[in-house]
Structure 1
Amino acid sequence: MTEQAAQSTTVRRRRVFYIPGYDPIHPRRYRELYRKEGAAQAEISDYSLTLKPKQTGRAYGWHVESEQDGVAVAADVEVLVWSDIVRDSMSNTIPATYAQLVRTAWEYIATGALWRLMKLRKGPVIAALYPIGALLLQLVLALVLGWYSFVVAAFGAGWLIGGWTIWPAMVLGLAVVWSVLRWFKAKDGKVFAYYLMHDYAYSARWRGANPPALEARMAAFGDSIAQALTEDWDEVLVVGHSSGAHLGVSILADLVRGGRVPAEGPALGFLSLGQVVPMVSFLRDAHRLRRDLHDLSARPELTWVDVTAPGDGCAFALCDPVSVSGVAPEGKKWPLVFSAQFTKSLSPERWKALRWKFFRLHFQYLCAFDRPLDYDYFRITAGPLTLAARYADRPPSASRIDYAVSKYRGMAP
């Protein structure tokens, strides 16, 4: 590498845009996660990393200062917030959630999308089926307890079946059913059945298309990124986690097609983490997402790296989102798909402690590794190399899935 080329890959000022997944919680959780895990990783890997209040823009975020490999780096991190849209999409009533269950199951099963998704990875499909099974089990238990209460009241108290005196027993039985369902809903902070049902129902309701409110928010996100690309940064890095990965694909595809990525501007990187793109791109009306995957995968204006791990049961690990969606173009460049290798980059003790904590593992990409290999979230977001330079010689994982699986491959409505 020439000295000039080396200088062009050195980052001293970086702008990071983080796109969360389907998450109703305030974005401060991501700042606290970055602060805590960044400090842990810095201690493990022997570099400095500190957080300060954000210095640019009005959106929520934080400022990072780090010294790595003898280079001082400053990064401004901004969370592209859509948690309000997530909250608005969540049904507040029990009947509405069960109606979502029926619609979502029908969309994935009747179209054959579920069976094709199972050809990729069983883990995320099981994760998708989990809320359906859990909610149905809760309903069955509620009905059994309600029936038992009805029988005890009607027969144990000597009430006569067929007379008007049956009604108090029926009311009691229905009240028990409703009380049990409300109890389960109140405990969902530990079970996550309602939360996950809302998550999968959000895409299924629109059959893979984006609702108008989300499209408008994505356009605003695109404007923020486009503005940063005209400013004095060495790199603009977009990070999409979980459902945020497919939002990032569409936002960046719009910017590239619209000519809003300056040729002489900052390096543009896109890091997708723990992506669940096939859950959306395999649906019949996901024309926009499939077109965006097709277009972005061949563009030289950016570097796209996709990191997953087989240990993450909620992600489509090592599934090339472009290829499995059946929209890979000739001359496809992106994404570079490789594994974070949880079982190797975490010590046996740490892996043993985390391996059955499925939702925690889905966020491990944003956390510290006690035996880090070539994936380190804090080196990527606060280190001295661009995403392109960091993984210029990194081969894709040999075990990746990169052939077409989706039944629906249309890119125009």
Structure 2
Amino acid sequence: MSRSHPQTVQSRRVFYIPGYDPIHPRRYRELYRTESAAQAVISGYDISLSRGDSKPHYGWKVDASIDNQSVHADVSVLVWSDIVRDSMDTSIAGTYAQLLRTAWTYIASGALRRLMRLRKGPVIAALYPVGMLLLQLIIALLGAWGAMAGTRTAFEWVMRSLISPMLPPLGETGMSVFFAAAVATGTLLCLVAGGCVAYFILRWFKTKDGKFFAYYLMHDYAYSAQSRGANPAPLEARMAQFRDAIAEALKGEVDEVLVVGHSSGAHLGVSILADLIRSGRVPEGAPALSFLSLGQVVPMVSFLPDAHRLRADLQYLSIRDELTWVDVTAPGDGCAFALCDPVSVSGVAPEPKRWPLVFSAQFTRSLSPERWAELRWRFFRLHFQYLCAFDRPLDYDYFQITAGPMTLGARYAHRPPSKSRIDVPVSKYTWIAA
């Protein structure tokens, strides 16, 4: 970096940007508390948490002693879970309408086909809610068919065995009227029974989505696809608030301001920091500015036709010397575009390009065989492993990055990028915002 900063840290301001998550941010505090304690035991350092200021951003304080150096960190979660919850507040029918619109957006634009050239895992994860929701619909329709068949059989038996013997002779006209009324009544009863059964089956699946994740993932992908890659207005307004918070921290007496973007939070972080630097809000003499993107899914958005802003921000951030940008993923994380350079694969890499430094957290090596076997098929848990303890840690340690005595730039100053990274242009859409 051309900017001169101290490479050691005694105080740090950390901003964590979650992905598409409707859960209260205390979840991240508890995750940090339990996993940092576990990593401290494994790695031989001391770390403790205390209550932070709840306003304007939910957070906590960290005090650590690592490599015989004391460090204090203030961690804040930049909350947009309320926006996520609002976007998830749709009916069952509305979710199936989202499915059709989202599938059309990715297929018709050619984005899905190009995403499959990168990593199969996240594409399968994207197709999973489509397949699961369709499977649930098929089960509901089969249940409806069974209910209609049973209702028809029961109605015919009642008419034949109970009603017909009690009827006086009605004549030809009367029998015709009675038969028409019976057919209409039976059809209505069958439709009501089938509709009720289908609804209750679909409703049951929705109430159990904490196990299936079909509705959750569908809402996630639909949120970006609804604007074909552009940010919805409420999210843009919230991002402006996040930018102001980071700008204020850069005026403080800390050694480093570290922004962490996880999953969908990574591409939010790109745009927030690009706007921050573009507007001249990183003054000379400010603390070191660092950006750590984890488990990113940037191509799911940047490959869409109208993601002009994101592509422009990726290009802009990739050449700036005001920050250090490190991108960490792992092939073991099936929900992330592992080792895909988000700037290059989006087709907007300038020359020369300096960021991000792309490398792997190497789950299969930094976790013991026993621990890897335990987590291997827990796909959503693995997507959060970047925020957790490793029982055989290598050079990636989330807690040393957020509470250790080195800036992100100093920690990885001599770290080469992973040789197996993908850094070729793949996206069909490469034009950027003016």
Interval of TM-score (by shorter of Structure 1 and Structure 2) = over 0.9
**In 1, are the aligned partners of 2:155 and 2:186 still within 8 Å (CA)?**
no
**In 2, are the aligned partners of 1:91 and 1:198 still within 8 Å (CA)?**
no
**In 2, are the aligned partners of 1:91 and 1:97 still within 8 Å (CA)?**
no
How many residues are treated as equivalent by the alignment? 408
Match of 2:232 among 208, 211, 220: 211
**In 2, are the aligned partners of 1:138 and 1:181 still within 8 Å (CA)?**
yes
Which residue of the partner structure matches residue 79 of structure 1?
A: 77
Asked if residue 240 in structure 1 is aligned to residue 261 in structure 2, the reply is yes
Which residue of the partner structure matches residue 389 of structure 1?
A: 410
Query: Shift of the alpha carbon at 1:295?
Result: 0.2
**In 1, are the aligned partners of 2:324 and 2:409 still within 8 Å (CA)?**
yes
More off after superposition, 156-165 vs 232-241: 156-165
Match of 2:388 among 367, 371, 386: 367
Query: Shift of the alpha carbon at 1:166?
Result: 2.0
Identical aligned pairs, as a percentage? Answer: 70
**In 1, are the aligned partners of 2:344 and 2:424 still within 8 Å (CA)?**
yes
Which residue of the partner structure matches residue 146 of structure 1?
A: 144
**In 1, are the aligned partners of 2:263 and 2:336 still within 8 Å (CA)?**
yes
More off after superposition, 161-170 vs 197-206: 161-170
Amino acid paired to 1:120: L
**In 2, are the aligned partners of 1:80 and 1:221 still within 8 Å (CA)?**
yes
Amino acid paired to 1:184: F
Three-state SS of the structure 2 residue aligned to 1:164 is helix
Give distance in 2, aligned partners of 1:225 and 1:184.
Answer: 41
Query: Shift of the alpha carbon at 1:412?
Result: 2.2
1:173-184 → structure 2 map (5 Å cutoff):
173-184=194-205
Which residue of the partner structure matches residue 404 of structure 1?
A: 425
1:156-175 → structure 2 map (5 Å cutoff):
156-158=154-156, 162-175=183-196
Match of 1:15 among 1, 13, 25: 13
**In 1, are the aligned partners of 2:302 and 2:346 still within 8 Å (CA)?**
yes
Which residue of the partner structure matches residue 128 of structure 2?
A: 130
Give distance in 1, aligned partners of 2:33 and 2:380.
Answer: 20
Which residue of the partner structure matches residue 341 of structure 2?
A: 320
Match of 1:278 among 289, 299, 322: 299
More off after superposition, 336-345 vs 179-188: 179-188
Query: Shift of the alpha carbon at 1:8?
Result: 1.3
Which residue of the partner structure matches residue 23 of structure 2?
A: 25
Query: Shift of the alpha carbon at 1:163?
Result: 3.9
Match of 2:317 among 270, 278, 296: 296
Give distance in 1, aligned partners of 2:262 and 2:93.
Answer: 30
Match of 2:112 among 111, 114, 135: 114
Amino acid paired to 2:314: L
Query: Shift of the alpha carbon at 1:162?
Result: 4.0
Which residue of the partner structure matches residue 66 of structure 1?
A: 64
Give distance in 2, aligned partners of 1:128 and 1:202.
Answer: 13
Three-state SS of the structure 2 residue aligned to 1:395 is coil
More off after superposition, 169-178 vs 399-408: 169-178
Q: Which has the larger radius of gyration?
A: 2
Gaps of 5+ in 2: 160-178
Query: Shift of the alpha carbon at 1:55?
Result: 5.3
Match of 1:192 among 190, 203, 213: 213
**In 2, are the aligned partners of 1:263 and 1:301 still within 8 Å (CA)?**
no
Which residue of the partner structure matches residue 365 of structure 2?
A: 344
Give distance in 2, aligned partners of 1:123 and 1:348.
Answer: 21
Asked if residue 311 in structure 1 is aligned to residue 332 in structure 2, the reply is yes
Which residue of the partner structure matches residue 222 of structure 2?
A: 201
Give distance in 2, aligned partners of 1:248 and 1:225.
Answer: 11
Three-state SS of the structure 1 residue aligned to 2:185 is coil
TM-score (norm 2): 0.92
Deviations for 1:335-375, whole angstroms, at most 9, x for unmatched residues? 00000000000000000000000000000000000000000
Query: Shift of the alpha carbon at 1:92?
Result: 3.0
